[in-house]
Amino acid sequence: MFQNNHDVRSDYRDIAGDRKKLDRMRADVARDQARLNEAIRRGRTAEAARIAADMARDQRALDAQMRDIQHDRYNASYDRRDTRNTRYGYR
């Protein structure tokens, strides 16, 4: 039973860290979007293309991070259910 409770706590810590990372990534994408808009407005097509490529890479990383959070949430839910179904530490 201790192991399962430890797994749940570990999953929640992982989710908290992932959410902080997700917030930083979203802020980075927002900054890149502002830079892209400025480059387009000023007619700097080469710079805009580089920024767009950077944004696409960041968006893929953001999507992967969101999938990781979903996986951790499912895992925590599974561990929590497994803990509740255990009686006296036996299965």
Distance in angstroms (rounded) separating the CA atoms of residues 51 and 63: 18
Q: Would the pLDDT of 2 be above 50?
A: no
The pLDDT tens digits for 3-20 are: 445 555 566 677 888 889
Displacement of CA 20 from its chain's centroid (Å):
8
The pLDDT tens digits for 17-46 are: 888 999 999 999 999 999 999 999 999 999
Answer whether residue 38 is part of any domain.
yes
Token couple for 67: 């999938």
Answer whether residue 22 is part of any domain.
yes
pTM of the entire predicted model: 0.65
Answer whether residue 78 is part of any domain.
yes
Answer whether residue 91 is part of any domain.
no
Answer whether residue 68 is part of any domain.
yes
For residues 11 and 72, the answer to whether their CB atoms sit within 8 Å is yes
- Give the pLDDT score at 17: 84
Q: Span 62-90, mean pLDDT?
A: 72
Domain count, the chain: 1
Answer whether residue 89 is part of any domain.
no
- Give the pLDDT score at 88: 52
